[in-house]
Amino acid sequence: MATTEMESGSSDSRSEQGTADPDSKYPLKVLYCGVCSLPTEYCEYMPEPAKCRQWLEKNFPDVFARMTVANAPKQEPGTGDAPPAGEEEEKKKQKRGGRGQIKQKKKTVPQKVTIAKIPRAKKKYVTRVCGLATFDIDLKEAQRFFAQKFSCGASVTAEDEIIIQGDFTDDIIDVIQEKWPEVDDDSIDDLGEVKK
């Protein structure tokens, strides 16, 4: 990307803007970053300020030197070497898009799939399948597959639980082994009828 310098302001608009810096010469020349396309003083607020800093250092070393001297953090004497500012800042700032990075917990749960039939009302049942996530099976995909295969409603209710409307405990073991061969017969437990 190429840099762009724009002239902004005129003698009429100077009185409207106020006098922020009496030493400024109008029209102002603004240096735009080639990475984020904002004025260089706003690069630190972008998702990847280290890339902007590298670009500025490579293309405009004199402006980079002025900015780093003005924004240098004060260090106490005798603290030793500090990590580079880019790495420290990237650790602190989160990426765009809301929540910061969520660390996934490693599951040490044994790889078991449990199937249970739960009574609902009178002679109606739901089938609960737990443990498919321990085999790294996408629960949303499994839920859609069960709903289509058995022509019924199915939903993911907990982090590792699928509820299928109807009593399919007899058929579901064969269907799971057919669709996902990594789930062997020994790792499937049929709990029978269980109360909620």
What CA–CA distance (Å, rounded) separates 129 from 113? Answer: 7
Q: Is the pLDDT of residue 43 over 50?
A: yes
Q: Using an 8 Å Cβ cutoff, are 53 and 93 in contact?
A: no
Q: Is the pLDDT of residue 9 over 50?
A: no
The token pair at 123 is 């002679």
Element (H, E) at 86: helix 85-92
To 10 degrees, the CA torsion angle through 45, 48, 50, 51? -120
Q: What is the pLDDT of residue 84?
A: 57
Length of the chain as a residue count: 196
pLDDT, mean of residues 33-61: 84
Q: What is the rounded end-to-end Cα distance, in angstroms, of the chain?
A: 62
Which one, of 45, 23, 46, 42, lies nearest residue 32 by Cα? Answer: 42
Q: What is the pLDDT of residue 96?
A: 63
What CA–CA distance (Å, rounded) separates 32 from 2? Answer: 9
Q: What values do phi and psi take at 111, rounded to 5? A: -80, 95
Q: What is the pLDDT of residue 88?
A: 60
Which one, of 73, 62, 63, 37, lies nearest residue 52 by Cα? Answer: 37
Total Cβ atoms within 10 A of residue 170? 11
Q: Is the pLDDT of residue 148 over 90?
A: yes
pLDDT, mean of residues 139-147: 91
Task: Give the residue, 112 or 110, on which the prediction is more confident.
Answer: 112
Residue 168, CA distances (Å) to 45, 61, 160, 171, 174 in order:
55, 70, 18, 6, 11
pLDDT, mean of residues 166-194: 86
Q: Taking the model in full, what pTM does it have? A: 0.45
* Residue 136, helix vs strand vs coil: coil
